[in-house]
Amino acid sequence: MKPQSLCIFFLLHFFALLCTAASEHEAPGTGGTIVFTTLGRSNYAWDIYTLPTSDPPSPSNELRVTDGESVNFNGHFPSTSPSSVLSLLHNRSLIRTPGPQAPPPLQLVYVTERNGMPNIYYDALYYGAPGSTRSRSALEVPVRLQAPLLGLEESKNRVSMKDRPSLSGENLIYVSTHEDPGEPRTSWAAVYSTHLGTGLTRRLTPSGIADFSPAVSPSGVWTAVASYGKEGWGGEVEELSTDIYVFLTRDGTHRVKVVEHGGWPCWVDDSTLYFHRRSEDQWISVYKATFPKDKPFSTELVTIQRVTPPGLHAFTPATSPGNHKFVAVATRRPNSSFRHIELFDTVKNEFTELTRHVSPTTHHLNPFISPDSARVGYHKCRGESNGAKATQLLLENVKSPVPNLSLFRMYGSFPSFSPAGDRIAYVDFPGVYVVNRDGSNLRQVFHLNAFGSAWDPVRKGIVYTSAGPEFSSVSTEVDIVSINVDDVEQSNYRRLTIDGKNNAFPSPSPDGKRIVFRSGRSGHKNLYIMDAIEGETSWIERLTDGPWTDTMCNWSPDGDWIAFSSDRHDPGSGSFELYMIHPNGTGLRRLLRSGSSGRVNHPSFRPDGKLLVFTTDYGGISAEPISNPHHYQPYGEIFTMKLDGSDMKRLTHNSYEDGTPTWAPLYINPVDVEWPRKGECAFEDCHWLNEMPGRGIKLVGPWGLAKPQCGVF
């Protein structure tokens, strides 16, 4: 008898997925299609796994808990009984449990990215239910009851990032980014409580404040978070200098700072919590905070004790109610390039390695422990041997918050569409590739290191790019080349600049006669215009002039404007804002102020010229970077704006780095596009965890360096 799979979805969830899309050949109108890149995200084939805490770890007793298809992470084992959870769910008349003789299920609440958007799901897994066998394969595919916990939110077309959920009684506590604080470079991350029965949602984080990594105490009375408080995020991209705050779970009141400098809190009981911080010796370690049971929370009354010793990084701790014997942690050891899950005995002060014995060359992230302390969970790359899905997408549909606008995450960087919209050029370091929009006929058309891509609007098959090293000084040899992608000969490109002084980001005029680009030939990166066919040997003229950086330029479809990023408001500060200028050098104006040290990069005009899409850190940071794989800049979302600087809309919500957006020349239906390229789950751990304090050790990961998208080349 085949194992059953019971999946429960809200009716409103289906209505959202069945909405009618416009024809691919329809004019963009008020919508259109945007394609962008998320650093490394196409390789995040994550599932949640679990190991027993008392048995010797081995591949035979590791279980995959999630579905093997979606991107699943940041789990939580709830203590609420399955019957209580199921009684609260909508459409519960449709739910069929395996029966009274079935053993108690393994329950899981977790974040999942599926159907184009993040959500929080509840799974009840009945291992060894009637009808299954005792075989290993039967344990791998249990009877599964599954339901989205925020279905009502989806029906409102509310797109937001979700993070670190936990179930407390009848309420789901989690992070969401759906409310705009109204200030540039300010995080949208806040903690919310949603009642599973009514859908009533309450914001627990004060207005204007951002909270990360919530943890609910065993009694459910208190919630602890990592937060900057009123000071806000200052641009940190590694270990955050947040503090630990505590407030009442029921309404967010009685909020008080309890620990200076700490992140990722977790409770043992209502007077004891663990957290991580970078120690004075520069090792990231786990600490314990103990509070008097009969007095109010405060930083003055807390007792703080270092738990894990120096000599390794230990972080993202996990505990279970009343368990004063051990904690689970993620570690980076000097003798390993991989992040692993270990148990630390708080009585004997000893580590027990878990995941290294199961999959030694795989990263494992963000442990969590079952209420009875019997199991530890975590997420990692899934493998094909257990039936997990390995298909990779060329274009991944991402739920758009704007009607008639489709949004896709693409494999590769710097995507651009051919004028007919049938082909896509992109960069996969090193080299430039072209692929049909349906995923067929993938070819490498330029073999040298390059960045950026733009199609000639008139001459068929001509793609412009920047050949040379990225992230380089003004004098580094980088040149604009034109590539004939339909010429199968190796000499299919032509060099258009000849001085080699960091010439980059070419964008052709709509008539195909001119190219605007960035060059460092004067000693500063400014904008220039040259002949599109013969290059600067025919003619060249300077468009901007000053001791600053103007870069990432894009020519408007009507030819009247050139949009670009610049630090001219504060040269050398690292802060980039969005500007526009006429091709004759007049009409300079700033469209968007990015906030202190903020960045607005990679602008691109919509085909009708009425909107710009760009990437920016306007929305701040959304999660603790240490809880994710490596991102050079663990922020950067896709926004659009009108040319007068009004009507700015945030399109993407995640804790990754979204960048290099572009418009398609036609509307593309919001459906995933697969291609024959084999999927491979692989990602790098945070590079700054490779540094081992006091030992002169800097470990190098097993994969080549990924390239940042939002930063300045």
Instruction: Tell me what pLDDT residue 157 has.
Output: 59
- Higher pLDDT, residue 598 or 648: 648
Instruction: Tell me what pLDDT residue 237 has.
Output: 86
Q: Are 652 and 669 in contact (CB under 8 A)?
A: no
Instruction: Tell me what pLDDT residue 5 has.
Output: 42
- Higher pLDDT, residue 371 or 682: 371
Instruction: Tell me what pLDDT residue 104 has.
Output: 84
Instruction: Tell me the CA distances in angstroms from 610 to 16, 248, 560, 588, one per residue in order.
Output: 28, 47, 12, 17
- Token pair 């009694």 is found at 219
Q: Are 214 and 195 in contact (CB under 8 A)?
A: no
In the chain, the percentage of residues whose pLDDT exceeds 90 is: 70
Give domain status of residue 620, yes or no: yes
Average pLDDT in the 256-262 region? Answer: 96
pLDDT band (50, 70, 90) for residue 625: very high
Phi, psi (degrees; rounded to nearest 5) at 154:
-60, -40
Instruction: Tell me what pLDDT residue 492 has.
Output: 84
Q: List the one residue out of 72, 90, 89, 71 whose CA is nearest residue 80.
A: 89
CATH number, domain containing residue 550 = 2.120.10.30
Instruction: Tell me what pLDDT residue 490 has.
Output: 59
Q: In this model, does residue 171 exceed pLDDT 60?
A: yes
- Whether this model's pTM surpasses 0.85: yes
Instruction: Tell me what pLDDT residue 607 has.
Output: 97
Instruction: Tell me what pLDDT residue 88 has.
Output: 82
Instruction: Tell me what pLDDT residue 97 has.
Output: 65
Mind spelling out the 3-state secondary structure of 453-476? EEECCCCCCEEEEEECCCCCCCCC
Instruction: Tell me what pLDDT residue 19 has.
Output: 38
Average pLDDT in the 443-465 region? Answer: 96
Give domain status of residue 313, yes or no: no
Q: In this model, does residue 505 exceed pLDDT 70?
A: yes
Q: In this model, does residue 109 exceed pLDDT 80?
A: yes
**385 C-beta neighbours (distance < 10 Å), count:** 8
Instruction: Tell me what pLDDT residue 712 has.
Output: 42
Can you tell me the distance from the alpha carbon of 152 to that of 186, in angstroms, rounded to the nearest whole number?
27
Give domain status of residue 356, yes or no: no
Q: Which tokens hold the place of 498?
A: 């000849």
218-246 pLDDT tens trace:
999 999 999 999 988 888 888 999 999 99
Domains identified in the chain, total number: 1
Q: Which tokens hold the place of 277?
A: 């911080």
Average pLDDT in the 289-317 region? Answer: 94
Give domain status of residue 439, yes or no: yes
Q: Name 303's Cβ contacts closer than 8 Å, sequence gap at least 6.
A: 289, 290, 291
Instruction: Tell me what pLDDT residue 43 has.
Output: 85
**85 C-beta neighbours (distance < 10 Å), count:** 20
Give domain status of residue 665, yes or no: yes
- Higher pLDDT, residue 231 or 583: 583
Give domain status of residue 591, yes or no: yes
Q: Are 521 and 477 in contact (CB under 8 A)?
A: no
Give domain status of residue 512, yes or no: yes
Instruction: Tell me what pLDDT residue 153 has.
Output: 54
Can you tell me the distance from the alpha carbon of 2 to that of 5, in angstroms, rounded to the nearest whole number?
9
Q: DSSP labels for 60-107?
A: GG-EE-S-SSSEEEEEE---S-HHHHHHHSTTGGG---S-TTSPPPEE
Q: In this model, does residue 258 exceed pLDDT 60?
A: yes
Average pLDDT in the 523-538 region? Answer: 97
Range with the poorest average pLDDT among 175-184, 314-323, 626-635: 626-635
Bridge-based pairing state of the strands 5-7 and 143-148: parallel
Give domain status of residue 340, yes or no: no
Question: Which range, 42-51, 346-355, 386-395, 470-479, has the best average confidence (pLDDT)?
Answer: 346-355
491-503 pLDDT tens trace:
789 999 998 889 9
642-693 pLDDT tens trace:
999 999 999 999 999 999 999 999 999 999 999 887 767 888 999 999 999 9
| β-pair partners for 658 | 38
- Higher pLDDT, residue 241 or 132: 241
Tell me the average pLDDT of the chain.
Answer: 88
Domain that holds residue 468: 394-688
Instruction: Tell me what pLDDT residue 23 has.
Output: 41
Determine the Cα angle at 434 with ends 428 and 438, to 5°.
110
Instruction: Tell me the CA distances in angstroms from 483 to 153, 398, 425, 436, 650, one per residue in order.
Output: 47, 31, 11, 17, 34
Can you tell me the distance from the alpha carbon of 709 to that of 457, in angstroms, rounded to the nearest whole number?
25
Range with the poorest average pLDDT among 105-114, 205-214, 301-310, 587-596: 587-596
